Chain A
Amino acid sequence: DTEVTQTPKHLVMGMTNKKSLKCEQHMGHRAMYWYKQKAKKPPELMFVYSYEKLSINESVPSRFSPECPNSSLLNLHLHALQPEDSALYLCASSQEGQGVGVQYFGPGTRLTVT
Chain B
Amino acid sequence: EDQVTQSPEALRLQEGESSSLNCSYTVSGLRGLFWYRQDPGKGPEFLFTLYSAGEEKEKERLKATLTKKESFLHITAPKPEDSATYLCAVQEGGGFKTIFGAGTRLFVKA
Contacts and interface: CB of A to CB of B under 8 A. Distances in A.
B96 A107 contact: no
Interface of B: 31-32, 34, 36, 41-46, 49, 87, 91, 96-98, 100-103, 105
A4 B96 CA distance: 20
A72 interface: no
Contacts, number: 55
Given A100-B31, A102-B34, A102-B49, A42 B100 contact: yes
Interface of A: 2, 4, 40-43, 45, 48, 50, 55-56, 88, 90, 92, 98-108, 110
Given A102-B46, A110-B41, A45 B34 contact: no
Given A42-B101, A100-B31, A106 B43 contact: yes
Nearest to B36: A105
Contacts of A2: 46
B43 A42 contact: no
Contacts of B49: 102
Nearest to B6: A42
A56 B45 CA distance: 23
Given A100-B31, A100-B91, A56 B97 contact: yes
Given A55-B96, A56-B97, A100-B32, 17 more contacts: A4-B43, A41-B102, A42-B102, A43-B100, A45-B97, A45-B98, A48-B96, A88-B41, A90-B43, A98-B96, A99-B96, A99-B97, A102-B46, A103-B34, A106-B43, A108-B41, A110-B41
